[in-house]
Amino acid sequence: MVRHTDDNDKKPRARQDERSPRPFKSSGPRKSGDGTKSFGDKPRGPRDDGAKRFGDKADRPRSDKPRTDKGGKDGKSKTPETPLRAERIAKTMARAGIASRREVERLIGLGKVAVNGRILDTPATLVTRDDVITVDGKPIGSTQATRVWRYHKPAGLLTSHSDPTGRPTVFDALPAGLPRVISVGRLDLATEGLLLLTNDGELSRALELPSTSLVRQYRARARGKITQEQLDALKDGVVVDGVSYGPIEAKLDKATIAKFQRELGAMGYKFQFVTLAGFHALNNSMFELADGYRDNGMAAYSELQQREFANEARGYTATRHQREVGTGYFDQVATVISNGTSSTTALKDSTETAQFTTAA
């Protein structure tokens, strides 16, 4: 029979003070540091240059050159300076109000633009704010904040910076303290109305592009009484100077406006383009809608629709925009003109008389 030893049967461990002390064994006096010692079987030489901390490296030769306040040597900063941002010269000149990008490229092709005294032969040139750009030997100003002015162009002023025949221009009539500005598009000599001016050629170009689809509103006024037969002839197409012209579409660009002028002139009528107050009406109505939306949300738009429906009793028809921009709108215009319900006669001795031009 196997008997397991119980814990109580174990002999108690002797306490520290009951243990027999170990006999002291001396290895003798320490040797002086003059001799060679070994540590880990590797020899270690004597320290003859004084005590050093573990890991100390040999002293490096110090430079006699003084440090600058920037913290670097020889006046060099520890942190590199931010490089100057470079951009295409056409963009820089456009933002400075010199001309649009396309016009800048034309000036470069004519050899009129120089950078730091060197005449450019390509618009593929990068410049920074430290470069000196000149046009015809005159330095351009620094880039300014983009600004836009609203100018009511009177009739008789040419929308151009210069005219070979000496006719007065829009820019001749501007205040003397105004910076160099560029017109956004053009208005004809005999046309009056809103003309936007800006000191940013890049913005001017963007607003002129057809791809932006900005709405431009005009009111055409024809002198004389137009018959329905003549309107039908315009609708079916007419031939002027051997060129066949078809119906005029709602989207009017410069070419369409010119075609409309030639067609009216071919029938012996004089014409006049007058800007609408639509700019102010559109902006004011949008402001009121946005102001109401801020306080009442979509209820403001619902209120606008209710006002539109209420105006239908007074002849308002634009509640359905697709129907409004269709042929029904132009049929109504033709009916009004043919019935003579709209005055088309200029006031005698008024400024309107000088604005009428006979189409060639």
Please report, for the domain that includes residue 111, its CATH number: 3.10.290.10
Mean pLDDT, range 18-46, rounded to an integer: 54
Residues 301 and 332 in one domain: yes
Domain boundary among 139, 162, 180: 139
Number of domains in the chain: 3
Is residue 175 over pLDDT 80?
Answer: yes
User: What is the per-residue pLDDT for 356?
Assistant: 41
User: What is the per-residue pLDDT for 350?
Assistant: 42
Residue 136 CB burial class (10 angstroms; 0-12, 13-18, ≥19): exposed
- Percent of the chain having pLDDT more than 90? 3
Mean pLDDT, range 335-353, rounded to an integer: 46
Residues 132 and 152 in one domain: no
Residues 339 and 284 in one domain: yes
The region of weakest confidence among 29-43, 80-94, 336-350 is 336-350
User: What is the per-residue pLDDT for 15?
Assistant: 56
User: Looking at 48, 69, 188, 236, which residue is catalytic?
Assistant: 188
Confidence of residue 224 (pLDDT cuts 50, 70, 90): confident
Confidence of residue 248 (pLDDT cuts 50, 70, 90): low
Is residue 118 over pLDDT 70?
Answer: yes
Q: How far apart are CA 278 and CA 301, in angstroms?
A: 20
Confidence of residue 355 (pLDDT cuts 50, 70, 90): very low
Q: What DSSP string runs through 279-346? A: HHHHHHHHHHHHHHHHHHTTHHHHHHHHHHHHHGGGT--TTSHHHHTSHHHHHHHHHHHHHT-S--PP
User: What is the per-residue pLDDT for 119?
Assistant: 92
Domain span at residue 184 reads: 148-198
User: What is the per-residue pLDDT for 348?
Assistant: 42
Answer with the residue of higher pLDDT: 228 or 26. 228
- Percent of the chain having pLDDT more than 70? 56
Mean pLDDT, range 149-162, rounded to an integer: 88
Is residue 337 over pLDDT 80?
Answer: no
Residues 124 and 152 in one domain: no
Domain boundary among 198, 233, 268: 198
User: What is the per-residue pLDDT for 343?
Assistant: 39
Q: Would you call 130 a catalytic residue per the annotation?
A: no
Report yes or no: 174 and 125 within 8 Å, Cβ to Cβ.
no
Any idea what the CATH number is for the domain that residue 176 is in? Answer: 3.30.70.580
User: What is the per-residue pLDDT for 351?
Assistant: 45
Report yes or no: 113 and 89 within 8 Å, Cβ to Cβ.
yes
Q: How far apart are CA 342 and CA 222, in angstroms?
A: 10
Mean pLDDT of the chain: 70
Report yes or no: 58 and 73 within 8 Å, Cβ to Cβ.
no
Contacts of 17 (CB under 8 A, 6+ apart): none
Mean pLDDT, range 93-102, rounded to an integer: 77
Cα 303 vs. chain centroid, distance in angstroms? Answer: 35
